[in-house]
Structure 1
Amino acid sequence: MHNLSPILQNHKVILRPLQQSDEELLWPIAQEKELWIYGLKDLSIKENLSQYIKSALADRADGNCAVWTIIDVTSGKIAGCTRLAEISWKDERGQIGWTWIGKEFQGSGLNKAMKYEILKYGFEVLGLNRIELKADERNIQSRKAILKLGATEEGTLRQHLKIHDGFIRNSVFYSILKSEWPEVKAKIKSGFD
């Protein structure tokens, strides 16, 4: 069984394993309504945030998810939450997602630094062969960020997921393969050193 509760860090970000007590620390960020425009759940509702954390911790306990609280090194502030989830050990793959970062940290390079650590952990520690990312087709900001990482766009699943407001979204899928990781790693690292 792998340790799915590591602390990952670099000079920009600390990813600390999520705990139920983080709910109070994450609550102020969850109040930023624009974070949930494309969200499957609206975590600005207290019960939803609580359930979200419980569910993430249960998935980690089941051995198919690593979930972190994001801390911005520069300010020392809690910045949000992210996961490497839907891990299939048999298929050697997982998916980075469920990421939400407060407005003040967006565009700061925090997301790239964080994705770098999660990809490195997934490929180099867990031995995954494929790491997926997906985004709502309408979420241009997320889609651009995923492509900037060096992920390959694979296609769109039409009417794939129903989000919190009832809209059934199209999901655009991306991936990075283990064979591509050395090149992607060098590219990302040069972007935030």
Structure 2
Amino acid sequence: MEQPVLGNKRVLLRPMQPSDLEVLLEVALEPSLWEVGLGRIGSREDLERYMQAAFREREQGLCLPYVVIDKETGEVAGSTRFCSIVEMHKRTEIGYTWIHPRFQRTGLNRAMKFAMLQYAFETWGMNRVELKTDERNEKSRNAMLGIGCKQEGVFRHHMITWNGHLLNSVYFSILREEWPEIKERIFGKYDF
């Protein structure tokens, strides 16, 4: 599966490469990114394992990992990916998103989600895009609702986090037929 570069006026999403280790490490070592959620990157070795897993899944056609670049500053802000790709059923998930706190609440995440959703529905032809988060992550849940996602339900004790907590996953989605209205209502007021 070929991985395209995505973006708009605000954000550039380029395919993650092994050479991105150093620039991503500066972001990934921010402890606040890992307070709530499934995983944690606390060292160079953790990030190396994380990236290697992403590269293996990309080779298997299961994910497309990206480096997120803020076009306003030119800085690497974090990472995201299309994951849980099921081509046969035309569905994917947007996940594994972590953005350094200094880029949060700046519009970067919204621009990134717009670029990804637009590609998924308008170019890739997906029928469904899923997002999920830890039930405790109120900020992430509100962000998903804020981009027009519909909350579908909670998978109780769905996963075990890096520190042994039983995580309840809250699932959200956007369907292809919902996208035109969401695109206009939610994203239409932005100059991406």
Structure 1 residue aligned with 2:77: 79
Residue identity opposite 1:172 in structure 2: V
- Check the 8 A contact 1:109/1:192 in 2, yes or no: no
1:6-56: CA deviations, max 9, x gaps? Answer: 111111100010001101001111111010112322112221110111111
Of 20, 26, 45, the residue aligned with 1:22 is: 20
Tell me how far 1:191 sits from its aligned partner. 4.0
The runs of 5 or more residues in structure 2 that have no matched partner are none
Name the count of aligned residue pairs: 191
- Relative to structure 1, the CA distance from residue 56 to residue 74 in structure 2 (aligned partners, 3 Å threshold; closer, same or farther) is same
Of 131, 139, 147, the residue aligned with 1:149 is: 147
1:97-129: CA deviations, max 9, x gaps? Answer: 100000110000000000011111111222110
TM-score normalised by length of structure 1: 0.96
Partner SS, residue 90 of structure 1: helix
Of 10, 32, 36, the residue aligned with 1:34 is: 32
Of 174, 186, 189, the residue aligned with 2:172 is: 174
Structure 1 residue aligned with 2:44: 46
Mean Cα displacement is larger for which, 95-104 or 123-132?
A: 123-132
Q: Where do 1:74-153 residues align within 5 Å?
A: 74-153=72-151
Structure 2 residue aligned with 1:163: 161
- Check the 8 A contact 2:38/2:167 in 1, yes or no: no
In the aligned structure 2, how far is the partner of 1:176 from the partner of 1:150?
Answer: 7
Alpha-carbon RMSD: 1.0
- Relative to structure 1, the CA distance from residue 191 to residue 55 in structure 2 (aligned partners, 3 Å threshold; closer, same or farther) is farther
Partner SS, residue 121 of structure 2: helix
Tell me how far 1:192 sits from its aligned partner. 2.5
Tell me how far 1:188 sits from its aligned partner. 3.2
- Check the 8 A contact 1:41/1:163 in 2, yes or no: yes
In the aligned structure 2, how far is the partner of 1:28 from the partner of 1:176?
Answer: 32
Partner SS, residue 192 of structure 1: coil
In the aligned structure 2, how far is the partner of 1:112 from the partner of 1:191?
Answer: 12
Of 4, 7, 10, the residue aligned with 2:5 is: 7
Tell me how far 1:189 sits from its aligned partner. 2.2
